[in-house]
Amino acid sequence: MESDVAPYFQLDDDVIYLNHAAVAPWPVQTAEAVKAFADENVRQGSKNYEGWLSREKELRHRLASLINAPSVDEIALLKSTSEGLSVIAYGLPWKTGQNIVIPAEEFPSNRIVWQSLAAQGVETRRVRVGTAADPEQALIDAIDDGTALLSCSSVQYATGLKLDLPRLGRACRQTDTLFCVDAIQSIGALQFDVQACEADFVVADGHKWMLGPEGTALFYCRKQHFPRLALKQFGWHMLQDFSDFNKADWEPNRTAQRFECGSPNMTGIVALHASTGLLLEIGMDRVEQQVLARSAYVVDRLGALAGIEILSPPDPSRRSGIVLFRKTDSDNEALYRHLQKHGVVCALRGQGIRFSPHFYTSEDRIDAALSLVAEY
């Protein structure tokens, strides 16, 4: 597998990249696609704009394939996870006294948008899942007659805890609760099936495990909810006949494009199109297998070191591409700076240090990073 994908990644020899849960490096073919697009602009401007729109359409199909969406019409291209969550939060009709259930450990993007609805009399219930014996049941138990929506990350950004989304989806169907998934820490690393988990909404920026740029995001909305989400942004690109500039009357696009306000981010689309193409070419089953093998390797090697506490879930079925740990006899902030100084790109999260290798990360690179941890 490593030899198969090595030509697609050309990180400097002095860089050990273990930070895909933050911002990923681009594959070579993504960089080449963006360079070619820039060169085309220099020489021809937008002469081939119809071709650009064709690539935009193909990206929607690739994203639909990555999440097994029932229809490409349910896929929109937004600028970020936060924008997608805001489209939901400020599109749904809330009633005073309703509540939203979320894990207490969520990244701020999937917390503050819901908390901002307090001004409308909507409560945000934060449920601890990291220390719960049964994380899903803890969330389900927090749902009551006033719960309008459950929103959770598919994988917790700090610890890497993977939730059982189909179980949560079934519970939401049984209680008539909307189900929103922030899938930024799984799409591109793990197989994702929006139909199996029965999600109403899925959001994920492309700059982490999808190996794309910041500023281009997947937004999935179940078609039956299109009329339910009030539109708060308006522009030419969200119209049904968006190429007819002289049409006096208008209607929102009958697809999820209705949530795209203005001109598309064509440079971001070019990049994410190339990156998702690589993932689909390799196959998400193979990608997931390698991601889980890499995180298991990190866990096993860390477990052999003295003075290491692994803060990620011990149960292999709960693992993702994220491993969080701390060194009990050291200042972990100082250890983090030491790792960064020696070329290990990682993150300080939660109460420890987060390693997040992707499918192409070699065991040699991981060993080099762990040697720095052991020797510190």
Q: Would you list the DSSP string of 204-270? A: EESSSTT---TT-EEEEE-GGGTTTS------GGGBTTTT-TT-SS--B-SSGGGG--SS--HHHHH
Position of tokens 């982490």?
A: 208
Structure confidence at residue 155 as a pLDDT band (50, 70, 90): very high
Beta carbons of 159 and 313 less than 8 angstroms apart: yes
Please give the structure tokens belonging to residue 301: 């090697």
Q: Among 275, 270, 234, 269, which Cα is nearest to 252's? A: 234
Predicted confidence band at 247 (pLDDT cuts at 50, 70, 90)? confident
pLDDT at 4: 55
- Residue 248: pLDDT band by 50, 70, 90 thresholds? confident
Distance CA 269, CA 267 (A): 5
The mean pLDDT value for 14-21 works out to 98
pLDDT at 57 over 60: yes
Residues near 54 by beta carbon (within 8 Å), at least 6 away in sequence: none
Paired residues of 124 in beta bridges: 100
Q: What is the pLDDT of residue 77?
A: 98
Alpha carbon 145 to chain centroid, angstroms: 30
Phi, psi of 68 (to 5 degrees): 55, 50
Q: Is the pLDDT of residue 39 over 60?
A: yes
Contacts 24+ apart (CB under 8 A), 281-287: 282/4, 282/5, 282/359, 284/66, 284/190, 284/191, 285/191, 286/1, 286/359, 287/188, 287/189, 287/359
- pLDDT tens digits, one per residue of 186-212: 999 999 999 999 999 999 999 999 999
Query: Which residues, 6+ apart, have CB-to-CB distance to 265 below 8 Å?
Result: 77, 79, 215, 216
Please tell me the predicted confidence (pLDDT) of residue 117. 98
Residue-wise burial string across 176-191, b where 16 or more C-beta atoms lie within 10 A, e elsewhere: ebbbbbbbbbbbbbbb
Which stretches of the chain are DSSP H helices?
A: 2-5, 28-44, 49-67, 81-89, 109-115, 135-141, 165-175, 194-197, 266-282, 284-303, 332-341, 363-375
Residue 102 C-beta-side C-alpha neighbours within 13 Å: 24
Residues 275 and 26 sit within 8 Å (Cβ to Cβ): yes
DSSP state of 24: P
Cβ atoms of residues 88 and 116 within 8 Å: no
Least Cα distance to 198 among 70, 284, 86 occurs for 70
Region of poorest pLDDT, from 3-12, 160-169, 240-249, 253-262: 3-12
> Which domains are delineated in the chain?
2-18+284-375 (3.90.1150.10), 31-281 (3.40.640.10)
67 pLDDT band (50/70/90 cuts)? very high
User: Is residue 3 very low, low, confident or very high in pLDDT (cuts 50, 70, 90)?
Assistant: very low
